[in-house]
Amino acid sequence: MVSKVHHSESMTFRYILASILMAGCAISAERAAEKEPDIAHSPVVKDRRVKDGYRIGSGDVLQIMVWKEPDASVPSVVVRPDGKIAIPLLKDVDVLGLTPAEVEQALTERLAKFIPAADVTVIVTAIHSKRVYMVGGVRKEGPIELQHDMSVLQALSEAGGLTDYAKRKSIYVLRTSNGKQHKLPFNYDAVLKGERINDNIIVEPDDIIVVPH
């Protein structure tokens, strides 16, 4: 009788031990899954400035996702100055001037010999290719990145403001449209007074703001 009791207790102990070990393995697996991000299900944050038909530029950051193919996916890649990105299997791919949809199509075609009917998604997660350029009587000459819609007055402020010798009433924006350059006047003093508000236009990528000395 005693032997049977000990045998029963031994079986119960083994069952409890096995349950604890299984639970520990399950917790370890869950923690490992938390530490290893799944690119196929990771949240994608598209740059809010990306509109339909947006064309990719140098410096932009892309996320390339190939459905159920993590080894062919890239969580983050910067478009190089030569307009190319490097991704697994294909090495260098030229994306400059293409829309995300066009890049998806190009990658699908090039991946076909490795992954038949690949399901490719391309997301622009950050735009760094859109800039305006400050020239002349500002405290910080050079390019300014357009992180959001920006007026001429805001661009001048971003450049540190005007120098003491700036000709405040003779500022202008050089804008190229359809291959022709246009000169758009901006009277700094008048805009500050609430006059000539139409001068304070929203700048566009590659505009040049000229502040004569």
The pair of structure tokens assigned to 2 is 């005693």
Would you say residue 47 lies in a domain?
A: no
3-state secondary structure of 123: strand
Is 195 strand, coil or helix?
coil
Q: Specify the pLDDT at position 14.
A: 55
Last residue of a domain, one of 76, 97, 126: 126
Q: Check if the beta carbon of residue 79 is closer than 8 Å to that of residue 96.
A: yes
What integer pLDDT is reported at residue 50 of this predicted model?
A: 81
pLDDT digits (tens, 9 = 90+) for 161-202: 999 999 999 999 999 988 899 999 999 999 999 999 999 999
Asked, for residue 120, whether it belongs to a domain, the answer is yes
Res. 52 pLDDT band, cuts 50 70 90: confident
State whether 32 and 80 are in the same domain.
no
Evaluated on CA atoms 144, 149, 155, 157, the torsion sign reads negative
Q: Maximum Cα–Cα distance for the chain, whole Å?
A: 108
| Residue 10 confidence (pLDDT) | 53
How far is it, in rounded angstroms, from Cα 129 to Cα 21? 54
Q: Tell whether 86 and 147 lie within a shared domain.
A: no
Residue with more model confidence, 48 or 31: 48
What is the 8-class DSSP label of residue 88?
T
Specify if 55 maps to a domain: no
Instruction: Clarify whether residues 138 and 187 are in a common domain.
Output: yes
Q: What angle do CA 85, 88, 91 make, to 5 degrees?
A: 50
The token pair that represents 152 in the structure block: 């001429």
Domain that residue 142 falls in? 131-211
Q: Are 112 and 136 contained in the same domain?
A: no
Residue 49 within any structural domain of the chain: no
State the pLDDT confidence band at 206, using cuts at 50, 70 and 90: very high
Residues forming a β-bridge with 135? 210
Domain boundary among 94, 126, 158: 126
Give the β-pairing of 208-211 and 131-136.
parallel
User: Are both 115 and 149 inside the same structural domain?
Assistant: no
Q: Does a structural domain hold residue 66?
A: yes
Q: What pLDDT score was predicted for residue 18?
A: 52
* Domain identity same for 111 and 135: no
- Whether the pLDDT of residue 2 is over 80: the answer is no
Residues 141 and 158: their CA atoms lie apart, in Å, by 10
Amino acid symbol at 194: G
Q: Are strands 84-87 and 142-145 parallel, antiparallel or unpaired?
A: unpaired
Domain ends where: 82, 99, 126?
126
Side chain identity at residue 13, one-letter code: F
Task: Give residue-wise pLDDT tens across range 56-99.
Answer: 999 999 999 999 999 999 999 999 999 999 999 998 999 999 99
pTM for the full predicted model: 0.64
Residues 148 and 168 in one domain: yes
What gap in Å lies between CA 186 and CA 200, rounded to an integer? 7
135 and 205 together in one domain:
yes
Kindly state whether residue 174 falls inside one of the protein's structural domains: yes
In a domain, 42, yes or no: no
Same domain membership, residue 71 and residue 27: no
CATH of the domain at 199: 3.10.560.10
Total domain count for the chain? 3
Given a cut of 50, whether residue 17 has pLDDT beyond it is no
For the stretch 107-166, pLDDT in tens is 999 999 999 999 999 999 999 999 999 999 999 999 999 878 899 999 999 999 999 999
What's the pLDDT score for residue 21?
47
